[in-house]
């Protein structure tokens, strides 16, 4: 009789957590609820195609890393030829030294995952006074493949303060001599020229 009572008590105690296992917890919230560190041994022979991440509730989820990323020594690195993606952006330069204020390159929209912005359509030299939608850490390369000068104006008040460019050059602007590239990073308040290629 005492064995039957013990069995019924154990059955009643385990009903609320039926199908859920807890390690280091008495109240499992998922099929497997671990309160502590997890270790997986012997993952040899597997390719790194996904990573595990924890959401705001503590639930572990898998995420695909994509074709241009791989996991090497517990670090996600870019691999292959997909380091920089390129997009063509048309600009209109009807007169020499056309100034383009607050240019919208789509850096948070359609071109959010593009690094190289290749300008097309320019027939005259042009200067950029500001770039819209900077996000701290955003890195872009402005590429001018045409034989016209492309420049950026230092701290031009023709563009909004948050869109302005800091050149750190010797003059009020930096400009390519025909074909060239200007590399910039947004520091949270301004676009900063970090490299210049003629």
Q: With a threshold of 0.75, does the pTM exceed it?
A: no
CB 118 within 8 A of CB 140: no
Same domain for 49 and 35, yes or no, is: no
The DSSP call for residue 24 is S
Same domain for 75 and 104, yes or no, is: no
Q: What is the structure's pLDDT at 12?
A: 57
Q: Could you count the other beta carbons within 10 Å of the beta carbon of residue 182?
A: 25
Same domain for 124 and 179, yes or no, is: yes
Same domain for 148 and 134, yes or no, is: yes
Same domain for 9 and 72, yes or no, is: no
Q: Which residues pair with 32 in a beta bridge?
A: 21
The DSSP call for residue 56 is T
Distance CA 150, CA 102 (A): 15
Same domain for 66 and 99, yes or no, is: no
CB 93 within 8 A of CB 125: yes
Same domain for 59 and 140, yes or no, is: no
Q: Provide the domain limits for residue 20.
A: 1-39
Same domain for 23 and 57, yes or no, is: no
Same domain for 131 and 168, yes or no, is: yes
Map residue 41 onto helix, strand or coil: coil
CB 106 within 8 A of CB 99: no
Per-residue pLDDT of the chain (198 residues; tens, 9 = 90+): 666 666 656 655 665 546 788 888 888 888 888 888 777 666 565 555 666 777 778 777 776 666 666 666 666 666 655 567 889 999 999 999 999 999 999 998 888 888 999 999 999 999 999 999 999 999 999 999 999 999 999 999 999 999 999 998 767 888 999 999 999 999 999 999 999 888
Same domain for 32 and 61, yes or no, is: no
Q: Which residues pair with 77 in a beta bridge?
A: 70
Taking alpha carbons only, the member of 67, 122, 70 closest to residue 97 is: 122
Instruction: From 82, 105, 133, give the residue that closes a domain.
Output: 82
Distance CA 186, CA 133 (A): 10
CB 117 within 8 A of CB 143: yes
Same domain for 54 and 108, yes or no, is: no
- Report the domain count for the chain: 3
Sequence-distant (6+) residues with CB within 8 A of 183 are 139, 140, 141, 142, 193, 194, 195, 196, 197
Same domain for 179 and 104, yes or no, is: yes
């Amino acid at each position: 009789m005492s064995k039957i009572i013990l069995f019924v008590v154990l059955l009643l105690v385990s009903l609320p957590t039926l199908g859920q296992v807890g390690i280091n917890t008495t109240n499992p919230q998922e099929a497997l609820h671990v309160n502590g560190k997890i270790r997986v041994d012997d993952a040899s022979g597997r390719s790194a195609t996904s990573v595990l991440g924890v959401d705001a509730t503590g639930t572990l989820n898998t995420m695909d890393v994509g074709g241009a990323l791989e996991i090497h020594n517990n670090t996600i690195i870019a691999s292959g030829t997909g380091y920089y993606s390129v997009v063509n952006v048309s600009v209109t330069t009807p007169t020499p030294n056309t100034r383009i204020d607050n240019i919208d390159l789509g850096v948070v929209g359609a071109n959010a995952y593009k690094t190289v912005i290749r300008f097309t359509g320019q027939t005259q030299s042009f200067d950029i006074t500001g770039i819209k939608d900077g996000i701290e850490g955003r890195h872009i390369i402005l590429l001018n493949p045409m034989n016209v000068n492309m420049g950026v104006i230092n701290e031009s008040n023709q563009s909004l303060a948050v869109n302005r460019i800091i050149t750190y050059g010797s003059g009020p602007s930096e400009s390519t001599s025909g074909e060239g590239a200007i590399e910039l990073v947004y520091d949270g308040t301004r676009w900063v020229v970090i490299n210049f290629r003629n």
